[in-house]
Structure 1
Amino acid sequence: MNVNVFKIPQRSPDDLTGLETLIQQGTIDPATIVAIMGKTEGNGCVNDFTRGFAVQTLKFYLQAKTSIEQAKTVIYVMSGGTEGVLSPHLTVFTRENDSAEGDRRWGLVLGVHHTRNFLPNEIGTLTMIHVVAAGVKTAIAQAGLTPEHVHFVQIKCPLMTADRLDNSPIPDSYKSMAYSRAASALGVAVALGEIDPEHLTDADICHNYALYSSVASTSAGVELQNCEILVLGNARDSTSDFVIGHGVMQHALDIDAVKQAIASTGSPDRIINVFAKAEADPSGKILDRRHTMLDDSDISHTRMARAVVGAVVASVVQDPMVYVSGGSEHQGPAGGGPIAVIA
């Protein structure tokens, strides 16, 4: 498997000039695109339509370049919110089959999967966990990976708008984002053997934060009703020039974890992009100091957390064009989150 990764700046959610240039130059064959992750400049909350706008623009563009069927197979993960210094951009993943003579090396491989659509009463439940776990296992097998060599699992998951809440046990649309992210993350943990599914209950979701995945990154959006799964890891028979490593931030200011994740790639001077999760510590404290992110009624705590972690990561790599997603329920320890680096 030959995987390539391209980081492309954007002037707006519908700006594809950078992608178009790479395609015109022959650097990217649009038929080989399997996943696109993006940071868009909306609020990252329920009514952030920059995510759907970006996905719609990409789908129409790729349909014209390839086909409607091919464009539907791509994983689209748009994460809203570029608070602070975060800079809007796309990360494009391509995948090609190797030739028999390819030079094999320890390098990046990937797998993808689209789950079925979820009913409103399934979002944020054990059913969602089990469906996601099965999808993650499928993507791992597609990539030719073993669980111990998985470094990052990115999932785009659904949320519920007010008109769908009548059929859901979740009280409001904003909380549906957290429950959807949480169940998706626990699905990753189950698939990778990080937790025992036999002891999981619905009551654990968004409550028992001792249960988490160290490699899951989940992002909820109104633009889909299923989960789109991207699994990234390293394998010995790759022909990719890229490699991925990861770490786990214990708190929002954990610079050491950022540095360790970078070092784990073995190529600290050749970073392509950094992918991190961020949340306001539910204890109300960071490093034993009180924070007020959870008490602010004007600005969502997920937006504040993105700004903090974005600044921390950008200060280490000296590049504000990094992917930081807010809301890390069951994604790393409470108040922290996984961080992955591609070099």
Structure 2
Amino acid sequence: MTVPMSAPEDVSAVARLFADGLVDPAHVVALIAQTEGDGHARGYAATCLQLLFAERLGLTRAQVFDRIPMLMIGGTAGLMSPHITLFVNVPGMAVPGGPKRLAIGVTSTRALLPEEYGTPVHVALVAEAVRAAMAQAGIASPDDVACVEMKCPQMTAARAQDAASRGAATVHPSAAAASSMSRGASALGCAVALGEVPAEAITQAAIAGRPDLYTQRGSASSGNEQMAVRVVVIGNVAGAPGTHVAARGVMAHQLDLAGARAAFTAAGLRLEDGVVAAEDRPRLAAAFVNAGADSVGDWQGRRHTMLSDMLAGFSGHVAKAVAHAAIAGIAQETLVLGNAGAEHQGAPGSNLVCVIARGA
């Protein structure tokens, strides 16, 4: 269920879901949010959500943090609209022989040491967590996984100093580069778990060094609030209760609208003139796109300036805006989550798409 935010601290739409009895906070297993502003605004938004859940569930903020992974994606650009998507697991009876319906699995790795960020150890831990989340959701085949959303640790100066105090070295002296490798290792862990990359291909040199190794279903973001990798597996299971369906698509390049539309039609949404039919739009529960435009310097041989113009420092935001516009145009809805992560997340220059829709 997706609701808008009017400001980083605005959790009123979530509170209304609770007050109106549409969602029981005890059934929320994870959430992912698109927040405006910098890391401080992202952290403020997470704090406000944690306080709301703590009040409703009678828990401390720390207990909420441990219980409900909050994957906060900071930064909006273009027509991106801040919003929150709740993953709600309502107890229900399975329907033997029933059609495949949405299933969610949520796990975390153990806390990683800073010197483990972006290493084969990191990859192995994430692979184990993804498999555990699949098992929790009842997803037996990787083919039934539509999307894996991950929030992994970000390298900071304090964490690098902590490693150094124990005589350990981080994977890169630059915190930004080490954080990029943390995202890459998370993506590769997903790829190994889903059989997209063989485990024996994972070496330290491969992480951030082999763009030919990637997942087509994993999206990783880093944050300094995380010590472990939080994992949300989204897929479908035969006979699962409910009517929702998750589907995926791959945009081979930024203007591959056919690849994007495939995710909408696979989720059971009808298209008219290339966009979701008006009567089907209320059935769209959530849409995610992982943007890769800033991982290459061109589109089909046509040069772009994301990496060289005055906004090069914000190339991730520009890439998100491009990918978001494509998906929002098809959905005719701006509550679409965009994440910029090229590190082993799709072939270079591609976009990964996930659509969740309610049954007719």
* Fold similarity call, TM over 0.5: yes
Match of residue 308 from structure 1: 322
Q: CA deviation at 1:70?
A: 5.4
Match of 1:277 in 2: 290
What residue number does 2:153 align with? 158
Q: Say whether 1:138 aligns with 2:151.
A: no
Residues 89-100 of structure 1: pairs in structure 2 closer than 5 A: 89-99=83-93
Which has the larger displacement, 268-277 or 109-118?
Answer: 268-277
Deviation (angstroms), 1:105: 3.8
Q: Matched residues in 2 for 1:98 and 1:255: separation?
A: 36
Aligned counterpart, 1:215: 217
> In the comparison of the two structures, how many residue pairs are matched?
334
Q: Which residue of 2 aligns with 1:258?
A: 260
1:127 aligns with 2:157: no
Quick one: distance in 2 between partners of 1:126 and 1:191? Answer: 13
Q: Does 1:325 align with 2:339?
A: yes
Aligned AA (1:182) = G
Partners of 1:211 and 1:107 lie apart in 2 by 30
| C-alpha deviation, 1:223, in angstroms | 1.5
Please give the residue correspondences for 1:24-173 in structure 2 after superposition, counting only pairs within 5 Å: 24-43=19-38, 48-66=39-57, 67-68=59-60, 69=63, 72-99=66-93, 104-146=98-140, 147-166=142-161, 167=163, 168-173=170-175
**Equivalent residue for 2:3, pick from 2, 8, 18:** 8
How much does 1:131 deviate?
0.4
- Aligned residue number for residue 195 of structure 1: 197
Matched, 1:287 2:278: no
1:105–1:239 contact (8 Å) kept in structure 2: no
Do the aligned partners of 2:323 and 2:351 also contact (CA within 8 Å) in 1? no
Q: Is the 8 A contact 1:33 1:95 kept in 2?
A: yes
Secondary structure of 1:13 counterpart = coil
**Shift of residue 79 of structure 1?**
0.4
User: Structure 1 CA distance, aligned partners of 2:256 and 2:43?
Assistant: 32
Aligned residue identity for 2:198: D
Partners of 2:23 and 2:202 in 1: CA distance = 43
Which consecutive unaligned segments of at least 5 residues does structure 1 have?
1-5
Secondary structure of 2:183's counterpart equals helix
Further displaced range: 59-68 or 291-300: 291-300
- TM-score of the two chains, using structure 2 as the length reference: 0.88
> What is the match of residue 236 of structure 1?
238
Cα contact 2:9–2:45 (8 A) shared by 1: yes
Q: Hey, what does 1:3 align to over in structure 2?
A: none
CA contact (8 A) 1:251 1:281 kept: no
Inter-CA distance 273–100: structure 2 relative to 1 (3 Å threshold): closer
Unaligned runs of 5+ in 2: 164-169, 271-279
